[in-house]
Structure 1
Amino acid sequence: MNIQNIYWQLYQDDPILKPGFPSPILADPSFLFPEVCPDGLWHLFAHNIFGVLEYVSEDGITWKKKKSIVWNAMRPFIYFEEGTYYLYYEKYKFFHVLMSWFPYRKWKSRIEVKTSKDLKHWSKPKTVIIPKFPFHKDPNYGESVSNPCLVKFGNKYRMYFSSSLVMVPDCGFCEPKYITVAESSSPLGPFSYFSEPIISPNGMDPFCNLGAGSIKVIPWKGRYLGFQNGIFWNPVRKESCSAILFLQSEDGIHFERINQTPILGPTGRGWKASHVYACDVKYSEAENIFILYFNARDKAHWTKGKEAIGLFVGKVEESKGNSKSGSKQKSKTKSNGKAKTNSKVSAKKKPTKPKPKKSKSK
């Protein structure tokens, strides 16, 4: 039996993309490999306080801003199938993302999609997910559906998304409370909603006791891997945190953690001191690595914190054995949730996918 071990580490200590003036944040990246893009470049979508932006790169490391795609939108997700690009995002009212930081201002959003054949010309938006069930809404904070992630299951399409809101006191803003699912026979819908969340916060869970955050799901070797950024209160540090949890599922609905501690968490200092947030993940068959772009925050409160985008890489190594745990990946991490550096990951030749540099941190 082959055992897959995944060794995670940061590509570099510094962010690969920083917010540009006047926005203090650049967040929620979603990307495409160059082989599925008409121009042969990497494409990455992220949002600032004004809307969704597009970036391009020759190597997945050095990025150049291309253009703004959607105003008054956030948390994009790009999906490609049979020559069509589907850009999903959370849409909100004009300037509402700034006004929502003030007390008693209720949030309201929906998930829209735009399509393109060339990544240059985009269709008019279409609404695909709206707040519908009680757990999509909060009487105090508003109605929210966000963080779309589309996955194909046979002839069906499954949309994972976050819903409802929970206030994070030391941040001064809300984060997603639940994660749920909707299904359709088309990427454009209509979608049938699951009537209950698939992931909810749990007061006994040290890494998901405030909110479920978001999840990205990918199929891999006969099962589904989930990358969830749980929102939690750290009683030792007496502050809120967010960290990326590594999950797996046989059916894409019932998830369990591969690692009991996060594979990537806040460091207490530097650009990712406070929170490690949402990510997008893809697996490169050619390079046998996972590419994970994420965003992180340096200070909790909205008046002080800034967010930037980093790169996390998982190197897959296979070995033969008869261990009963062989069906699960073993991700090597330190107790603080920061990935342990593994010297075997470094490549001697120039890669077509970014390979991690050795982290300076210990």
Structure 2
Amino acid sequence: MNKQNIYWQLYQDDPILKPGFPSPVLADPSFLFPENCTDGLWHLFAHNIFGVQEFLSEDGVHWKKRKTVVWNAMRPFIFHEEGTYYLYYEKYKFLHVLMSWFPYRKWKSRIEVRTSKDLKTWSSPKTVIEPKFPFHKDLRFGESVSNPCLVKFGNKYRMYFSSSLVYIPDCGFCEPKYITVAESTSPLGPFSYFSDPILSPNEMDPFCNLGAGSIKVIEWKGRYLGFQNGIFWNPVRKESCSAILFLQSEDGLNFERINQTPILGPTGKGWKASHVYACDVKYSEAEKIFILYFNARDKAHWTQGKEAIGLFVGKVEESKGTVGKTANKPAKKQRPNPKKKISKPKPKVKKSKRK
């Protein structure tokens, strides 16, 4: 039997995508490998303060903006199956994201989806998730469902999403409080909601004591891996933080941490000084590598902070040997070998000229 060791490492210290004027934010990336795209290019979706934008790349590192795909929307997630692309996102009212930074403005959002066959022309939007249960709402801050992530489970589709809100004083805005699930027999719904969250903040948890943040889930080696950005108060720095936690599950509902500490967190200085936020993750079988795009914030408060997108890589190494009951579990994080270069993400298909 083989034992897997995953070595996590930043691809580069600097962000690979920065926000463009006048938005101080470029956040919540979701991407497609080039072999899953009709033009043979990498596609990445992320949001600024105006809506969801699309970016193209030949190597997964150097990106150019293509267009704004959806206005007044945020936190996109792209899903591909049998020639159809499904773009999910959190939808809000015109200018609502700007007005929500001011006191006494309640938030209200829903999750919509648009479909495409070519990543150029998109269908009309369809609402798939709305605030329904009490834990989707907060009397003070509003009603929120956000951070969609669709995963196929056999003949069903499971939608992971964040719900409700918690106010973070030093940021001056709200973050997601819970993570929950809904299921359907179609990517377009209708979805049946689970009546309780699967992840909640816990005041005793050093990395998730304010809010559960968001999660991205992928199937790998017969298990489900979760990448959660917990929101927490750091008593040493005396400020809020967010960091990416590495989880695993056998059923996709009950998660435990592979690493007791985050695999990627704020540095206290530079472009990711304050918070490391939501991510999207995919695994390349050919290169035995995880590709993880994330966004990070340099300063907490909304009047000062900026957010950009970075690249994090997990190199998988397998060693033959006798392993016990944990043989199929990813091993705990080990320190990256500085002499071992992590390979650059590369398209697996012949490049085609951009049209």
Q: Same fold (TM over 0.5)?
A: yes
Closer/same/farther in 2, CA of residues 345 and 326 from structure 1, 3 Å limit: farther
Closer/same/farther in 2, CA of residues 237 and 153 from structure 1, 3 Å limit: same
Establish whether residue 293 from structure 1 lines up as the match of residue 293 from structure 2.
yes
For residue 343 of structure 1, the aligned residue among 321, 334, 339 is 339
Identical counterparts, % of pairs: 84
Establish whether residue 42 from structure 1 lines up as the match of residue 36 from structure 2.
no
Question: For residue 346 of structure 2, what is the amino acid of its counterpart?
Answer: T
Question: Aligned ranges for residues 1-362 of structure 1 at < 5 Å?
Answer: 1-324=1-324, 325-332=326-333, 340-347=336-343, 352=346
Structure 1, residues 145-172: CA drift from partner, whole Å, max 9, x if none? 0000000000000000000000011000
Q: How much does 1:332 deviate?
A: 3.1
Retained in 1: the 8 A contact 2:10–2:311?
yes
Aligned to 1:360: none
Question: For residue 18 of structure 1, what is the amino acid of its counterpart?
Answer: K
Retained in 1: the 8 A contact 2:292–2:312?
yes
**Across the two proteins, how many residue pairs are aligned to each other?**
347
Structure 1, residues 224-248: CA drift from partner, whole Å, max 9, x if none? 0000000000011100000000000
Closer/same/farther in 2, CA of residues 315 and 331 from structure 1, 3 Å limit: farther
Retained in 1: the 8 A contact 2:221–2:328?
no
Retained in 1: the 8 A contact 2:2–2:323?
no
TM-score (norm 1): 0.94
Structure 1, residues 96-141: CA drift from partner, whole Å, max 9, x if none? 0010000110000000000000000000000000000000000000
TM-score (norm 2): 0.96
Distance in 2, Cα, partners of 1:346 & 1:197: 37
Retained in 1: the 8 A contact 2:41–2:347?
no
Retained in 2: the 8 A contact 1:148–1:160?
yes
Distance in 1, Cα, partners of 2:319 & 2:23: 46
Which secondary structure state, in structure 2, belongs to the residue aligned with residue 326 of structure 1?
A: coil
Aligned to 2:353: none
CA RMSD of aligned residues (A): 1.3
Retained in 1: the 8 A contact 2:315–2:342?
no
Q: How much does 1:321 deviate?
A: 2.5
Distance in 2, Cα, partners of 1:154 & 1:94: 38
Q: How much does 1:41 deviate?
A: 0.4
Which secondary structure state, in structure 1, belongs to the residue aligned with residue 190 of structure 2?
A: coil
Retained in 1: the 8 A contact 2:294–2:311?
yes
- Where structure 2 has 5 or more consecutive residues not aligned to the other structure, the ranges are 349-355
Q: How much does 1:351 deviate?
A: 5.7
Distance in 1, Cα, partners of 2:69 & 2:328: 41
Which secondary structure state, in structure 2, belongs to the residue aligned with residue 196 of structure 1?
A: coil
Question: For residue 340 of structure 2, what is the amino acid of its counterpart?
Answer: K
Distance in 1, Cα, partners of 2:164 & 2:346: 40
Retained in 1: the 8 A contact 2:202–2:208?
yes
Retained in 2: the 8 A contact 1:263–1:333?
no
- Where structure 1 has 5 or more consecutive residues not aligned to the other structure, the ranges are 335-339, 355-362
Structure 1, residues 206-230: CA drift from partner, whole Å, max 9, x if none? 0000000000000001010000000
